[in-house]
Amino acid sequence: MINVLSKIFPVFFMIILGIISKKKNLISQKGREGINDLVFKVLFPIMIFNLLFSADFKTQYLLVIIYILISYLFILFIGKLLSNFTGKKYSSFSNLLLITQECGSVALPLFLSICPGSSVMTIIDLASLITCFIILPVIVQKKTSESNNIKEILINTIKNPFVIAVILGLFGNFTGLYNVLYNSDLFDLYSSVVNMATTPIVSIILFGIGYDIKFEKETFIQVSKLILVRILLYVLVIFGFFLLFPSLMKEKEFMIAVIIYFTSPVGFGTVPIISPLFKDKDDASYASAFVSGCMIISLMIYVFTIIFII
């Protein structure tokens, strides 16, 4: 338990630090936006490139990835249908908050505390990476573009740093460039550069989440509705795993990975990607409060898993 707390407590520490910094005006809104640009236009794409460049793709999990991608599309559709229930004011982006999971900072540490050394969750997370850094930018570009020209939308989407990172990472992986680099004398240099560039990313994102949090009664009610919808939809997704992949779900390690992963918060990278759809600061506060609320649910499910499954 101490090992788990050592991974989770820093997450809440950075969020609280962001809350204090906003309340004490230690960092201005303009400064906050500048830091955000650094992370999501420069540093985060480097991390995405490295994850896909070095990923171990196994064909046996291809159907799992396809199932998750289809589930995300279904959830997007249902989320849009329920936008009046979850809050009409936030309907332009609320359904986008229902897809993707935060693996690296929440789900993965929790899972590894139970199943150390397992790579199952990393494989499952590939669908979320594709959704977050390819599908979401396309959706946002389409919604924010003043032109309905498909060609123009695609060109602008491809220019997105996240999309460029995904394309280059997959190209380098499938062409074997990563293996060439791994076996060369330059690999240590490459690793050092990537580690230097990506180490502060999660901390800065968590700080930003805390900075944007604004707890108000009305917002809390709306966030609670969206959290409820998210929980119910992912209960269906988990149930689908038992129906479609019974042999995999009989493996306790895989089952635990699925349960923890699909009860984790929305991916921390999702909020900044969809931020161009925010009309005002209240929208940003709503999204941040939603992420925080989902984190609490995630920890509760983790405790439930420890008590009733392990």
Residues 194 and 214: their CA atoms lie apart, in Å, by 34
Classify burial at 147, counting beta carbons within 10 Å of its beta carbon; exposed 0-12, middle 13-18, buried 19 or more: exposed
What's the pLDDT score for residue 107? 84
Q: How far is the CA of 32 from the CAs of 11, 100, 146, 203, 277, in angstroms?
A: 18, 24, 27, 13, 18
- Judged on CB neighbours under 10 Å (0-12, 13-18, 19+), 136 is buried
Contact 295, 271 (CB under 8 A): no
pLDDT of residue 9: 74
Contacts of 231 (CB under 8 A, 6+ apart): 263, 297
Q: For residue 245, which phi and psi values (nearest 5 degrees)?
A: -130, 60
* Stretches in the chain below the pLDDT threshold 50: none
CA distance 66 to 70: 6
Q: Looking at residue 261, what is its pLDDT? A: 95
CA atoms of 249 and 258, how far apart (whole Å): 9
CA angle (139 as vertex; 91, 165 as ends), nearest 5: 135
Give all domains of the chain, ordered by start, each with its CATH number: 2-308 (1.20.1530.20)
Quote the pLDDT of residue 140: 87
Using CA atoms, how far apart are residues 61 and 285, in angstroms rounded to an integer? 37
What pLDDT shows up at residue 310? 64
Long-range CB contacts (within 8 A, 24+) of 147-151: none
Please state, in angstroms and rounded to a whole number, the distance separating the CA atoms of residues 193 and 188: 9
Helix axes 136-144, 150-158, angle to 10 degrees: 130
Nearest one of 6, 70, 88, 36 to 240, comparing CA atoms: 70
Q: In this predicted structure, what is the pLDDT of residue 250?
A: 92
**In the chain, what's the furthest Cα-to-Cα distance?**
57
